[in-house]
Amino acid sequence: MINYVKETPRINVKFINSDTDEVLFEISNRNCTNVNELFSDYITTSLIADEIKKKKIKTPPEKIMVMAVCEFNLVNS
């Protein structure tokens, strides 16, 4: 029998340009109860607008993919 476990309960959320697969930025150290707030239209728009301003990006991405990412390790059981 195989068993996978997370090293930490913390979750990273990546904001990705869907057309190029470029990671625009990442928010680390979220938990399962507060990661969902990053999936709202308002929050995503605000975060992307701030990142565009900070990086001086001329054309905003047409599509943004937001992914919650956590890593599981195989352990012997």
Segment 14-40, tens digit of pLDDT: 999 999 999 999 999 998 888 888 899
Alpha helices in 1-77 (DSSP H): 41-55
Q: What pLDDT was estimated at residue 28?
A: 92
Q: What proportion of the chain, given as a percentage, has pLDDT over 90?
A: 69
- For the question of whether the overall pTM of this predicted structure is more than 0.95, the answer is no
Q: Which of 6, 1, 4 is closest to 68 using CA atoms?
A: 6
Structure tokens at 54: 């900070």
What is the edge-to-edge ordering of all strands in the sheet holding 11-17? Answer: 23-30, 11-17, 64-69
